[in-house]
Structure formats: structure tokens, C-alpha cells
Structure 1
Amino acid sequence: MYAGFNCTAQSILSKRENGDYLGVAIGWGLAITFAVQMGFNISGSHCNCSVSFFLFTLGELPFLHFIYYSLAQFAGGFLGSALTFLQYYDQINAFDGGIRAVYGPTATASIFATYPHDNLSFTGAFIDQTMCTAFLAIIIGTVSDPKNKIPRPAQPPLFGAMICLLTIGYGFNAGNAMNPARDLAPRLFTFCVGYGIEVFSHFNYAWPIIPVFCPLIGGFTGAWIYRIFLGANIDPLIPEIDNNNNEITLTKASNIENPTKIWSSKLSPPSNFIVDFSKNNNIPSVMP
């Protein structure tokens, strides 16, 4: 988030001279690419509360892990805001004259948190944020589902491209938070450093509900849309054994004669896969 906030700060404080909206979108995309890559082989790079939440609802993340990850994500959002504020402190003072503003020509609060467009209604904001995060969840499902055979090294850049796309296509209405930690933690930070209660004041102080709860609803909806309408219709992958080379390869179920015979007792499945046997047909589906 720190790198993304810096992209936004440079654009706002330079009055778009050192970065227009497209530059901000690309910057956030690159920030997500490197953030995902850094933790990809450790935790899977849980950077987003809505993603952790829908993985929990899918049964792929224990509840305690969801809590731990969410706390870490909020801490990261707060710390990232603090680092950007520290780095651009002099420029912020020069821009707003030392008077922290949420509205108006010298407003800098939007460097950190998202705010709705003047023409956006509460209902419109609810729809916007929910749909945006649902699309994010569908793309994540598409990229990360091993049945789609997208190589792991290619996934972080694709997630970055996803953020770039969503920022360009969905950012106009309300800044497409898509992540409670990306919005609420920075909003609390701005409240603490002098922006005041106005950071919560949109829609009669109901605005913070939108970027906190709508991403959870949208992520849940999008994840289940992918699982039911897309993922369930892709041929399951079957680990295929080569005893001579002591290797396991993944093959589509339709490509082998007897998909229930997966591996010998001498071999175990790769540690980064969970094999779930279907009660209906005993054909396993492999999930990350």
C-alpha cells in the first residue's frame, strides 16, 4: 500500500504534472505485482481482507488465519499511510498550507483513503463497490485456479494487471477501495494526524460503511460466481504418477482412463495442493 499511496500522492501534490490518472493506475498495478510476489511462496500474499474473507467462506482458509491476516492487513494499511505521510510531509504542507483538508482545491485526504464523487448516491456507491470487488474475485479465481494451468510465476503480474484494469475502469465513482484494510486503516490514520472527523462525514457519516462492508459482500459474491458458473465447469486436474522418475504431473480427468488411481503409496501429492475427493463421482478436484 505504501508504494500505491506514493503514486497517488505524487499525482495529487504535483497537480497531475508528475503522474496522471493512468500513471496512478499503472503504479498501483505494479505495487500489487511486487507485493504479491514478495509473499507468494510464504502465505500466498494475503493483502486484501475481502480476498481472505471469501477464501474463508469457501472453506480454504481457517477462521483464525482470516483474523490474523486481517489484523496484519489493517496494520499494513496504517503503517503504509504513515510512511507516505512522512515522506511527503513537506510537499503536503506546501500544497495545503498546513491546513489538512478533506474537501476543496487543497484537499489531500484522498491520497490515503477513498471518497465518493459528488454525483454519486449512497445506493450508487453500494452497487459500485460491490460490483467492483465481485469482478476482482472472479479474476482472482480465474488466475489462481490450477485447473486453468496459469503458471505461478505469471500470476503476480496478472494480479497487477487486474488492479490496473479495475482502477482505470472502476475508479471514477469512488476510488474502488476493494479492500477494507486499504480504506479504513488509512482513514483512521488521517483522522489521527489532523484531518478531523470530516474523513467520516460523507453521506451523513455513513460513507465508511461502503468501502468496509461492500468489498466483503462483493468478494463473497464474485468468488461463488466463479466457483459455481466457471470453476465447476472446468475439467478437474488429476495428479499422474511416473514411478520411474518419481514425479507427479497434473492431467485433466478426461485425458486418463481411470482417474481414481492417482498415486502409489510411495509418493505423496505436492505440498502446495489439497486433493478433495468428490462424493458424487470420486474424481478429485485439486485446489490451491
Structure 2
Amino acid sequence: MSGFVGELIGTMILIILGGGVCAGVSLKKSAAENSGWIVITFGWGLAVAVGVYAVGKFTGAHLNPAVTLGLAISGDFPWSQVPEYILGQMIGAFLGACIVYLHYLPHWKATEDPAAKLGVFSTAPAIPHAFSNLLSEIIGTFVLVMGIQAIGANKFTEGLNPLIVGFLIVAIGLSLGGTTGYAINPARDLGPRIAHFVLPIAGKGTSNWRYAWIPVVGPILGGMFGALFYKAVFLGDVKPAFWVIAVILVVVVVSAYVGEKKLPGPASKVSQQQASK
């Protein structure tokens, strides 16, 4: 199995199960309606575990461009394979979202709230605020990538690693996910958001493209810095890229902070209305 096919299938499984639990909890007339955040976080954790079990033997099961780029920049994954992995992840996420749409087909019309429908496909901030939302995604993905490397450094009974990574996802969701819905994965957010945009979903509203850059840029920066940080602090291998990414991260975060401060009151209200759609 090629890296492209493996990452496509693994990420598709991730989104079918992860997006599926969001649909079950959010859409009207679902038996799981209103079952809550605990169900969503455990659903996503198990979704990651199953995806990793499915293709880990063949590709290492990155299932996430932030993981792929983090491992590449830290020297643990060849750059030559990065394009096929990320392309597979994006296509897999899109296809997974389309399958969730088909699975819950009659429930879209039964659900009036456009935000609930968008929430099945992509993330949105609890409080729209570019600086803090970006920071949340950076921190969450930093913990994810550093945590994956820390898990890999320990010896578990054979076959348990994917399950432990799933519990890491649950922990991030429970502790850090309440601010932005913890995308922590550009493919997980962007692929399904594109699906939301193109699919004929009844009363779907906008796809909130105004916010869409945050769950892409934040995880990429957080993932790369997390991988480099682990190498530097835990293994004593300080690469030049560590300082480059640190500077870029600071510049992007400060720019987001300054940009947020410059927004006038009416623009901020428009931003909040857009985020709620």
C-alpha cells in the first residue's frame, strides 16, 4: 500500500467516525442527539485509534498534515513523501465528510440550525477572537505532536500504541478542546469544510471561510514546533529549524494579536455573526 492510498484510507476512516459522532450528537432526530462533549471527545479519540490501527502498519498513520510536517522538519520523515501524504490526507478527509453526509441524509433537513450542520464538518470558536483561537490551535497541536513522540519513546504491549494515541486525543479534547473545537489537524478541518461548501446540504448557511485559516495555520505551526521542541528538550538535538519555526510562530501570533486589536467594534460583531453560521 502506497503512502498516498494508506493516508487517504486512514484519514477517511478518521473523518467517518469523528464527523459521524459530531453528526450524531448535533443533528435533530438522531438517537445520540444532545449526548454532549464527552461523547464527542471519546468518539474522536476512538476514531483516531481505529484509523491508526487500519493503516499504521503501512504508512505510520500520520492522518494529519501537522504530524507529517512536524516529523519531516525534525528529520524523522523524508520530505520527498510529504506531498503524497498530505494529498492523501486531504482527499481522505473530504471523502469521509461526504460519507457522513450520506449516512445522515434525512437529518440535515430536520435540523434548522446552520451552525450545527457546519459543526459536523469543521470547527468553530466558542468565542471568536483570532489571537486566542490561533493560540489554542497551536497549543493543542503542540501537545499532540510532542505527545505522540513521547508515547513512541515508551514500550507498550504490542498493539496498544494506537489506543494510547486515541486517549491522547481524548485528553486534548477534554482539557483544551472547549475553545475552538480542537481541529489540531488541517486536513480534518479543511477537507470537510470544502465538502460542506460543495454538498447540497439543506439550509446549510455559510462555510465560515473567514475563520478557516486558523485551524490550518495554527496546527501546522504547533505541530512543527512540537516535534522540534521534543527533539531539542528531550533528546538534546537542537536543530536550526527550531529557531526558525520559533520566530515564525512568534511573528504569526503577534500579527494575529495586533490585527485583532485593530478591528473596530462593528467588524468584530460581523466576525462573530459569521463564526456562528
**TM norm structure 2:** 0.74
| Count, aligned residues | 219
Partner SS state of residue 42, structure 1: helix
In structure 2, runs of 5+ residues without a counterpart are 1-14, 238-277
Give the residue type in structure 2 aligned to 1:108.
K
Q: Deviations over 1:1-57 (max 9, x none)?
A: 111111110000148646321011111111111110111211111211100001110
Cα distance in 2, alignment partners of residues 152 and 140 from structure 1: 16
The residue aligned with 2:144 is 136
Tell me how far 1:153 sits from its aligned partner: 1.5
Mean alpha-carbon deviation: is it higher for 223-232 or for 41-50? 223-232
Query: Which runs of structure 2 are paired with 1:139-154 in the superposition (5 Å)?
Result: 139-145=147-153, 148-154=154-160
Q: What percentage of aligned pairs have identical amino acids?
A: 28
**After TM superposition, which residue ranges in structure 1, 4 or more long, deviate above 6 angstroms?**
none
Q: Deviations over 1:78-127 (max 9, x none)?
A: 0010000001010111123xxxx544xxx31100100111x231100111
The residue aligned with 1:13 is 27
Q: Deviations over 1:224-280 (max 9, x none)?
A: 1111112349xxxxxxxxxxxxxxxxxxxxxxxxxxxxxxxxxxxxxxxxxxxxxxx
Query: Which runs of structure 2 are paired with 1:1-288 in the superposition (5 Å)?
Result: 1-14=15-28, 17=33, 19-96=35-112, 102-103=114-115, 107-117=116-126, 119-145=127-153, 148-194=154-200, 198-201=206-209, 205=210, 207-232=211-236
Q: Deviations over 1:144-180 (max 9, x none)?
A: 13xx333442211100001111111122111110111
Cα distance in 2, alignment partners of residues 135 and 151 from structure 1: 23
The residue aligned with 2:256 is none
Paired residues of 1:53 and 1:216 also in contact (CA < 8 A): yes
Cα distance in 2, alignment partners of residues 67 and 135 from structure 1: 24
Give the residue type in structure 2 aligned to 1:36.
V
Cα distance in 1, alignment partners of residues 139 and 45 from structure 2: 19
Give the residue type in structure 1 aligned to 2:197.
F
Please say which structure displays the higher CA radius of gyration.
1
Tell me how far 1:64 sits from its aligned partner: 2.6
Give the residue type in structure 2 aligned to 1:139.
G
CA distance 1:109–1:24, change in 2 (3 Å): same
In structure 1, runs of 5+ residues without a counterpart are 234-288
